[in-house]
Amino acid sequence: MPLVTTKEILTKAVAQNYAVPHINISNLEHFDTILSTAAKLKSPIIVAFTTGLIKYYGDEILEGLCSAASKKYQIPFAVHLDHHKDPKDIFTRIKKNKYITSVMIDASLVDFEKNVAITKDVVEFCSKKGISVEAELGAIQGTEDDHSSADAFYTDPNLAIEFIKQTKIDALAISIGTVHGCVTKLAPSLDLKRLEQLRKTTTIPLVLHGCSGLNDEQIKTVVSKGIAKINIATEFKVVFHDGLVKYLHEHPTETDSRLFFGAANKNVKNLLESKIKLFNSENKG
């Protein structure tokens, strides 16, 4: 099916109170496993490319993947550029890859006025092409792929209202205590009151990044309180790595990469199935 925007996917998620998984793609194997698993459970899905992934494979390979997947899988899915900091990068990528339906401009580390100005530029460009724009207000701590931030600044609900009004973005990434790159399951303390206030005072879909470190109860709580898009990257990298290491440890002379990648992908598939059920996005595609 033709790809859809995250705006379309998330509007439905907000209305029906479930969350859509946003998975950062690490490699080519990973891409197809994510899509085929979502298709099996009929869940909408957002596959995300970071600048690091694009640098690694190049635009042509990634466009080819998106094109093939749009023919093969009959579920609503969006191809999203994650944590792009330079609007020029976004504009170049969109010109090169006609399958991109969604972008995130992350100007969260500059001051409010500059964040508004940069984000507005991206919205102006993307809205003409029917591409959704997510932006971040506040800053999420931690490291994820080629993106890192040392300090966390929680999202101010009053500024969020102003930010959305001025920029006309389609979705807002908020900072309420999650950490990028965290899989310790130490249950980061979440500012749920802030989330409730943000949900009450804004109308667009709210996005939570850095969710690898949240336990199942926390995920259920943030979904029930209105988070419509949940970004997960690190947890998928960890299970892929663990599957690969275990298989090669048990079969040290195996040279058929389809077998050891197959074992790694099985972990990815199982993890995504559990997330789709937890987010309640099964059969919503």
Per-residue CA distances from 197 to 42, 99, 158, 226, 257 (Å): 32, 35, 9, 11, 49
Number of residues that bind Zn ion (CB under 5 A): 1
Q: Which CB sits closer to Zn ion, 80 or 209?
A: 209
CA distance 102 to 80: 5
| x-marked contacts with Zn ion along 157-196 as a string, rule CB under 5 A | ----------------------------------------
| Residue closest to 129 by CA, chosen among 106, 105, 97 | 97
Q: DSSP letter for 57, please.
A: H
CA distance 169 to 279: 24
Interface segment toward Zn ion; rule CB under 5 A; list 9-17, 39-47, 205-213, 217-225: 205-213
212 is in an annotated binding site: yes
Shortest Å distance, C-beta 209 to Zn ion: 3
Counting runs of H as helices and runs of E as strands, what totals does the chain give?
11, 11
Interface segment toward Zn ion; rule CB under 5 A; list 8-16, 63-71, 203-211, 217-225: 203-211
Kindly state the tokens that stand for 127: 């809205």
The residues, any chain, with a CB within 8 Å of residue 159's CB and separated by 6 or more, are 112, 137
232 is in an annotated binding site: yes
Q: Which CB sits closer to Zn ion, 247 or 279?
A: 279
Q: Is residue 229 involved in binding Zn ion (CB under 5 A)? A: no
253 is in an annotated binding site: no
Interface segment toward Zn ion; rule CB under 5 A; list 2-10, 95-103, 202-210, 252-260: 202-210
Question: What are the φ and ψ backbone dihedral angles of 230, each rounded to 5 degrees?
Answer: -120, 120
**Sole binder of Zn ion in the list 84, 120, 194, 209 (CB under 5 A):** 209
Active site residue 242: no
Q: Give the pairing type, strands 147-149 and 141-144.
A: antiparallel
CA distance 146 to 46: 19
Shortest Å distance, C-beta 180 to Zn ion: 5
Would you say 21 and 231 are in contact if contact means Cβ atoms under 8 Å apart?
Answer: no
Shortest Å distance, C-beta 110 to Zn ion: 17
Residue in 32, 59, 82, 256 annotated catalytic? 82
Kindly state the tokens that stand for 98: 């006609």
136 is in an annotated binding site: yes
Shortest Å distance, C-beta 2 to Zn ion: 26
Q: Give the pairing type, strands 171-174 and 77-84.
A: unpaired
Shortest Å distance, C-beta 145 to Zn ion: 9
145 is in an annotated binding site: no
Annotated binding site for Zn(2+): 83, 106, 136, 180, 209
Residues with a catalytic annotation lie at: 82
Annotated binding site: 83, 106, 136, 180-181, 209-212, 231-234
Which residues of this chain interact with Zn ion, rule CB under 5 A? Answer: 209
